[in-house]
Amino acid sequence: NGLFVLVLIWSSRSRQKNEPPLDKGPIPWLGHALTFRKDAAKFLAKMKTKHGDIFTLRVAGKYVTVLLDPDSYDAVLYDSVCLDNSQCKNQLLKRIFSLQLPNIKPTTERRWMEQHFQGLSLSRLSISMNTNLQNLLLNDWKGCSPTEWREEGLFSFCYSLLFRAGYLTFFERRNDATAVYKEFRKFDDLLAKLARCSLKRGKTVMSTQERLWELLSSNWSSEESESNSWQQSYRQFLQEEGVDAEMQNRALLLQLWTTQCNAGPASFWLLGFLLTHPKAMEAVKSEIRGLTLQDRLSTPVFDSVLSETLRLSAAVLISREVVQDKILRMANGQEYHLRRGDRVCLFPFLSPQMDQDIHEEPQMFKYDRFLNEDKTEKKIFYKDGKRLKHYTLPWGAGGNVCVGKEFAVTAIKQFVFLVLTHLDLEMCDREAKLPPVNPSRYGFGIVQPDGDLKVRYRLKKTQHE
Ligand code: HEM
Render pLDDT for 295-320 as a digit per residue (tens, 0 to 9).
667 899 999 999 999 999 999 999 99
8 A C-beta contact, residue 441 and residue 156? no
Instruction: Report DSSP state, residue 439.
Output: G
Q: What is the mean pLDDT of residues 26-47?
A: 93
- Model confidence at 207, pLDDT cuts 50, 70, 90, reads confident
Which value does ipTM take for this structure?
Answer: 0.96
Q: Tell me if 263 CB under 6 Å of ligand 1.
A: yes
Number of H helices, E strands in the chain: 16, 13
Residue with the nearest Cα to atom 42 of ligand 1? 402
Residue bearing the bigger pLDDT, 295 or 80: 80
Residue 208's CB is within 10 A of a number of other CB atoms, namely 18
Q: What is the mean pLDDT of residues 39-67?
A: 96
Q: Tell me if 317 CB under 6 Å of ligand 1.
A: no
Q: Tell me if 420 CB under 6 Å of ligand 1.
A: no
Residue 35's CB is within 10 A of a number of other CB atoms, namely 19
Please give the class, per CATH, of domain 99-314+349-463: mainly alpha
Statement: residue 202 has pLDDT above 70? no
8 A C-beta contact, residue 178 and residue 251? no
- Closest atom of ligand 1 relative to the 262 alpha carbon: 20
Residue with the nearest Cα to atom 37 of ligand 1? 400
Q: What is the mean pLDDT of residues 69-94?
A: 93
Q: Tell me if 331 CB under 6 Å of ligand 1.
A: no
- Model confidence at 289, pLDDT cuts 50, 70, 90, reads confident
Residue 452's CB is within 10 A of a number of other CB atoms, namely 17
8 A C-beta contact, residue 167 and residue 253? no
Side chain identity, residue 19: E
The string of DSSP letters for 208-250 reads HHHHHHHHHHHTTT-TTS-TTSHHHHHHHHHHHTT--HHHHHH
Residue 5's CB is within 10 A of a number of other CB atoms, namely 9
Question: Whose CA is closest to 260, among 183, 194, 349?
Answer: 183
- Model confidence at 415, pLDDT cuts 50, 70, 90, reads very high
Question: For 254, phi and psi rounded to 5 degrees?
Answer: -60, -45
8 A C-beta contact, residue 257 and residue 242? no
- Beta-bridge mates of residue 152: 455
Condensed to tens digits (0 to 9), the pLDDT of residues 442-462 reads 999 999 999 999 999 999 877
Statement: residue 102 has pLDDT above 90? no
The model's pTM is 0.94
Give the integer Cα–Cα distance in Å for 337 and 17: 8
